[in-house]
Structure 1
Amino acid sequence: MSSGLGGLDRPGAPTSPGTWDERSEPTTGPRSTPTRRTGADPVKALMHRHRDLCERAVDPLEIAAGLEAHGISDRTASRFLHRDVFSLAEEMYARVSRGAEAAPGPAPLATPRARADWILLTLLPGVLCAAAVTALHLTHGQSRLIAAASGALAVTLALRAALSRGPLAPTDRRHPTTARVSWLVGYALLGDGLLRAAATGGPDALPTGAAEDPWPLTTAPVLALTLSCVPAAWCAHLLAVRARRKLSSSRALAEFATSAKPLLLGAFTLYLCALAALLAIATTALDQPSTYPQTLTLGALLFLCLLLTSHGFTHAPVLVLTAAASAEATALAALFAARLPGGAWLATPVQALIDTGGPAAIPTIACGTAALTLLLHATRTLTRASAHATQNQP
């Protein structure tokens, strides 16, 4: 479906005298009975301001979503003598001239379909990560370092490929959060060990990947997160399909938002359950301590970030991921800065958190707070009709 949001008028566009302007109407006060103005067609004036939207739309639902994104509510639609935005959009769609060969009626709203390419690509990161972890356990010395570097590169490339197709693909074909996500996943692999070593005066050497190393690699969380690309993609796909069906049957923006919120929360909960199961399998197979708090909060944060980005909402994920990554980096920097003369006080808050909840308290608090913030943001943005009117399905 082609996006009609690009046809929205720019703020400050001139309007002709006597035409209807919904932005000039008050948004508070009692609702008055709408009456027609003589000598003016308010719907025609609205169509003129959103001409590109109306001409490019392939069905009335796309127009309704575009109007909603521009701030037109059901109450505003009543001033155009329509009961809701959907009814107003149907009139606008019907009145647009599309040539002699245009279809007599709107095309049915298509639902996204699963494709073999993105299904296979979402499997690839987990498979390569499992191979890399196996290589780490079977090699020693310099061979282990080569295996670790090669595995990290292969998994990174596989993640890029997996996130460029399917329901988690961004609308502009690039993820503006890649660097921040890489930091958070890298911290899940190395951060807790480094934080523990720094709190005790280390580290004295680079990590070797051995279990008895004073700076060990926690590979189970990373393995679980890469394996969770599959349930993440399916949960996002399920949300897209169900939301499109709800959008087809809804007749008001508020009605769709009410029905879309349980779908969003259900998909989010389903992903967390799948991630918890994968983490249990990974920790058992690798014989590593459980890391449920920090891994589940990180997984929740990454899933919401990818979900918002795939629907075109990139600003909030960038800000929230930056805050989470900065909190983790600040905790590490404070421990090292405390070694400077007179700087012991810098490590007091971090040391208090470590003494209370261990090194895992830092990423758990940082990612948990960030995930909760994004969840609240998602319940407002991903329950709008404009978020699901067009679905990115490469």
Structure 2
Amino acid sequence: MTRVLIRPGTTVDRDFTELADEMKELLAGAVDALEVAAGLEAKGMSDKTARRYGDPDVFALAARLYERTVRRPAFTGPAANPWRSQEPTWRRGGRHVLRGLLFGLPGMGYVAAAPLLGGPSTGLVLTLALVACWPLGQGLAALACSRPVPAAARRVLRHGVLAGTAAMVPVCAALGALLGTGPAVVALACAQSLYLLAATAALVTGGEVWLLLVLLPGLSVSFAGPPWQLVLVGWAVTGTGVLVLAYERTRGGTATGMSWPSLRMALPYALFGLLVGGLLTFTLIAAYTGYGTPPAATSAAMVALSLAMGPAEWVLYDFRARGHELLQETRSLREFALHVRVTLLELVVRFLAVLAVLLGLALQAAGTSPGLTQVAACSLLTGGALFVALMLQSCGRMAVPLTCCGTVLTAETAVLVLAAPPPSAVQLYGAAALFTVLLAYAVAVLGRATAHR
């Protein structure tokens, strides 16, 4: 070991090389000289100690160590991808497809209600009750998913289903009284709302398979075609099963930890559900209020859109997973922006292709009718717009999708009331504008790395 003479009578017990070798791991990965200085001070070195190495203070010694070391930070491997599940692809994809079926199949329940749907006011009550219940379901799901502990989420769902049902009963009663329908229709609207909220609780807690099983009695009688009284019995059994399932899946919850900040956090999701409900049922509500008749294929297209929500979830998870991987793999922000935008457009096209296939099958089953092409185009654009809005929502961009959806729905309503054109044409132009604006915005903002944190 060499001994370095600093001034007469002062020697260095350890030379500079030995100090650098002792701190080589810190020096190889240090971001700057301040990190090295912090490491020296953590070792107990002071300015007095630094002077033994020929430097006036710790910071000067840290700067000399930092300048003479080649940075070779240790590679720790990519961070775990929270959007990429470890389960097999067939199981992950099957779960998303099953969720799509669960979104679409309950529509068969309206077959059981066909004898009750004698006039326009009945359909309008059920549709408005459905639109009013959607934001409750969306807000409840968002609130439960924000809970860090599963037990707290179950408690939120339990209280949310009860509170939501209690809120929907007077709403349904008021709609029935305002539009002059009987108590049977009000009861059916309340049952519809209770089912939607209970099914939300089952889906959020991962009860997809069980929910499909309890749907089987109602679906079976709907497809078998017995007298409508037996169909009602089958769906009553299904409704009871859904309630039991929701109760079972939300047992054992702890304190909710509910607060005004958490409710404000869920509010944009509830508002999004309300706007989506209005956009999807625009032609139906217009028809019930005397503005023309929707094309016969509208109901079939709604079923296809509901079924497409399962694949939409799958593609959305893939987008978030690939965005996370690109953050690890790309070497510059420009490279990341290019790759993530190409990925976004690729996945939008993939979803539109799946939706087009589902629309083709649904419309073919519905048979040839006037306005078929217009219904298909409108449904494709609406589905694409809502899918892009969900992409933006998953990346924390809520304000613009809400503003765009609200603006389009307001404009459609104003045009219909003031000019009275065919509602299907108004909806088509609104869907085209919404899809164009949201896609352009998504390409711009989702290319930023900060959107994928």
TM-score range, shorter chain: 0.5 to 0.7
The 5 Å alignment of 1:288-299 reads 289=369, 290=372, 291-299=375-383
DSSP-derived class of the 1:113 partner:
coil
2:307 maps to: 227
Which of 250, 266, 277 is equivalent to 1:182? 277
Which of 175, 186, 193 is equivalent to 2:287? 193
Q: Which amino acid aligns with 1:295?
A: S
Report the TM-score when normalising by structure 2: 0.48
Greater mean alpha carbon deviation, residues 266-275 or residues 175-184: 175-184
Taking a change above 3 Å as real, the CA distance of residues 118 and 274 of structure 1, as seen in their structure-2 partners, is closer
Cα distance between partner residues in 1 of 2:350 and 2:198: 26
CA offsets, 1:182-211, max 9 Å, x none? Answer: 1112225x146358x425xxxxxxxxxxxx
Cα distance between partner residues in 2 of 1:378 and 1:149: 38
Taking a change above 3 Å as real, the CA distance of residues 139 and 264 of structure 1, as seen in their structure-2 partners, is same
Number of residue pairs matched?
A: 254
Which of 398, 419, 428 is equivalent to 1:314? 398
1:361 maps to: 425
Q: Does the Cα contact within 8 Å between 2:99 and 2:310 map onto a contact in 1?
A: no
Shift of 1:270: 0.6
Q: Where do 5+ consecutive residues of structure 1 fail to align?
A: 1-41, 46-90, 95-103, 166-171, 200-212, 335-346, 390-394
The 5 Å alignment of 1:298-309 reads 298-309=382-393
Cα distance between partner residues in 2 of 1:371 and 1:320: 10
1:268 has 2:343 as partner: no
1:108 has 2:202 as partner: no
Taking a change above 3 Å as real, the CA distance of residues 183 and 107 of structure 1, as seen in their structure-2 partners, is same
Alpha-carbon RMSD across the aligned residues, in angstroms, is 3.9
Identity of aligned residues (%): 24
The 5 Å alignment of 1:303-382 reads 303-334=387-418, 347=419, 350-351=420-421, 354=422, 359-382=423-446
Shift of 1:375: 0.6
Shift of 1:287: 3.3
1:207 maps to: none
DSSP-derived class of the 1:251 partner:
coil
Cα distance between partner residues in 2 of 1:280 and 1:137: 26
If asked which structure has higher relative contact order (CA below 8 Å, sep 6+), I would say 1
Taking a change above 3 Å as real, the CA distance of residues 160 and 310 of structure 1, as seen in their structure-2 partners, is farther
Q: Which amino acid aligns with 2:383?
A: G
Cα distance between partner residues in 1 of 2:354 and 2:314: 11
Shift of 1:164: 9.6
Query: Which structure has greater helix proportion?
Result: 2
Q: Does the Cα contact within 8 Å between 2:107 and 2:303 map onto a contact in 1?
A: no
Report the TM-score when normalising by structure 1: 0.54
DSSP-derived class of the 2:80 partner:
coil
Taking a change above 3 Å as real, the CA distance of residues 117 and 265 of structure 1, as seen in their structure-2 partners, is closer
